[in-house]
Amino acid sequence: MSVKQTQRLKQGINSVTGGIYKIQRFCINDGPGLRTTVFFKGCQLRCKWCHNPETIPARRTFLLNHDTCTLCGRCVTVCPVNAHKIEAGTHTVDRNSCTFCGKCESICPVDAIEIAGETMSVSDVIEIIRKDQIYYAESGGGVTLSGGEPMMQPDFAGALIQECKEAGYSVYVDTNGAASPGVYNSVVKDADGILFDIKLINSRKHLEYTGMANEQILKNFRNSCPMDKDLIVRYVVIPGINDGAGDLTELCDFLEKCGFDGELELLAYHRLGLRKYASMGLDYELSAIEPPSQERMNEIQSYLRSNNLQAVYRK
Ligand code: SF4
Ligand code: SF4
């Protein structure tokens, strides 16, 4: 390939754009070392316990924190489509008419409004990532693509991974695995590691709690095991949903049959995202579920270890 062709190709890759929720620096829980985590917008699943519901819609998302809002009315004044209303001490927003102009977000004196998501090019993202590269070598870190779900934007994810690899960064992909084999393989092929979120093994329950059956997800996981990559399973323990004896036995059996010998990271369900549901005008269906105790998490860790899995629960 000529120099000009290479330059044109590179320009093409750098100008690919995608929907990004945010880029978080100095992350310590998204793969090895210090990492820069790029949160994609859009997800195919509707997990009832999702703690980042603002990443689920592919388009931008409007959030209004009613706890912070002082009802000052400035947003009402600036909104060009009259989406805000304050009546009888109650602030409502017509999200359907919002054009995401950002005027209310800018004028709010208490940051009660957030418009989540923006369009960025690969080079925009790389520019931010580059600020952290000094920490990668020392800590064994790098970049992690997360979400939302990177598989929802395979061209953008692929182009970003390509650029990161060219710059010499380690790349991990945090995924729910819900993609066709073609899409899945095209995204993970150049990644160094995969953080694979397994929600439930039972497909009927998976459908009930995430809105999607899991046959294809588990197939993608199975196919990932022989890949020459650091494959880590993430399992969020949700009391009464996936922590029963049957659920854990199914998990052990499945991982054993796959020949999985990597780390199984246990995460305790929490309700830190609850306020976001109200901010988006949504109900949170699992409000009755309490987070698991540390004793229960330790118990599950021991059980999984007794089944020859490298289960790790980090508090
Ligand atoms: S982002 Fe713009 S259109 Fe949407 S509610 Fe705020 S001011 Fe109105
Ligand atoms: S500008 Fe902010 S604090 Fe004032 S009413 Fe709007 S959301 Fe509430």
Domains of the chain: total: 2
User: 96 and 14 in one domain?
Assistant: no
User: 159 and 53 in one domain?
Assistant: yes
Q: What span, in angstroms and rounded, lies between the C-alpha atoms of 270 and 257?
A: 30
Q: What residue ranges line ligand 2, CB within 6 angstroms?
A: 69-75, 91, 107-108, 110, 112-113
Q: Which atom of ligand 1 is nearest to the CA of 101?
A: 2
User: In the predicted model, is pLDDT for residue 41 greater than 70?
Assistant: yes
Q: Cβ contacts of residue 168 below 8 Å, gap of 6+?
A: none
The β-bridge partners of 19 are: 119
User: 227 and 155 in one domain?
Assistant: yes
DSSP state, 284?
-
DSSP state, 164?
H
Q: What span, in angstroms and rounded, lies between the C-alpha atoms of 15 and 120?
A: 9
Q: Which atom of ligand 1 is nearest to the CA of 100?
A: 1
Which is more confidently placed, 102 or 273?
102
pLDDT of 15: 87
What is the per-residue pLDDT across 98-127, written as a single tens digit (0 to 9) for each?
999 999 999 999 999 999 999 999 999 999
User: In the predicted model, is pLDDT for residue 3 greater than 80?
Assistant: no
Q: What span, in angstroms and rounded, lies between the C-alpha atoms of 237 and 235?
A: 6
Structure-block tokens of residue 298: 């330790």
User: 108 and 212 in one domain?
Assistant: no
Residue spans of beta strands (DSSP E) within the chain: 17-27, 35-40, 61-64, 84-87, 90-93, 113-116, 118-121, 142-146, 170-175, 193-197, 230-237, 263-268, 310-313
pLDDT of 4: 64
User: 179 and 253 in one domain?
Assistant: yes
The β-bridge partners of 116 are: 61
Q: Determine which residue's CA is closest to atom 4 belonging to ligand 1.
A: 98
Structural domain ending residue among the three candidates 116, 142, 161: 116
Query: Minimum-distance ligand to the CA of 80?
Result: 1
Q: CB of 246 within 8 A of CB of 201?
A: no
Q: CB of 110 within 8 A of CB of 74?
A: no
Within 10 angstroms of residue 15's Cβ, the number of other Cβ atoms is 12
Q: What span, in angstroms and rounded, lies between the C-alpha atoms of 100 and 279?
A: 16
Q: Give the Å distance between the CA of 56 and the centre of ligand 1.
A: 20
What is the per-residue pLDDT across 218-258, written as a single tens digit (0 to 9) for each?
999 999 999 999 999 999 999 999 999 999 999 999 999 99
Q: What span, in angstroms and rounded, lies between the C-alpha atoms of 65 and 2?
A: 54
User: 71 and 39 in one domain?
Assistant: no
User: 126 and 232 in one domain?
Assistant: yes
User: 220 and 193 in one domain?
Assistant: yes
Mutate to test the pocket of ligand 2, among 63, 65, 66, 75 (most ligand atoms within 8 A of CB): 75
Question: In terms of DSSP bridges, do strands 170-175 and 61-64 run parallel, antiparallel, or are they unpaired?
Answer: unpaired
User: 48 and 75 in one domain?
Assistant: no
Domain containing 88: what range? 61-116
User: 44 and 172 in one domain?
Assistant: yes
Q: Give the Å distance between the CA of 86 and the centre of ligand 2.
A: 9
User: 39 and 136 in one domain?
Assistant: yes
Structural domain ending residue among the three candidates 101, 116, 131: 116
Structural domain ending residue among the three candidates 116, 138, 159: 116
The CATH number that applies at residue 238 is 3.20.20.70
Band the pLDDT of 288: cuts 50, 70, 90.
very high
The CATH number that applies at residue 107 is 3.30.70.20
Residues 280-298, mean pLDDT to the nearest whole number? 96
Q: What span, in angstroms and rounded, lies between the C-alpha atoms of 28 and 135?
A: 12
User: 155 and 101 in one domain?
Assistant: no
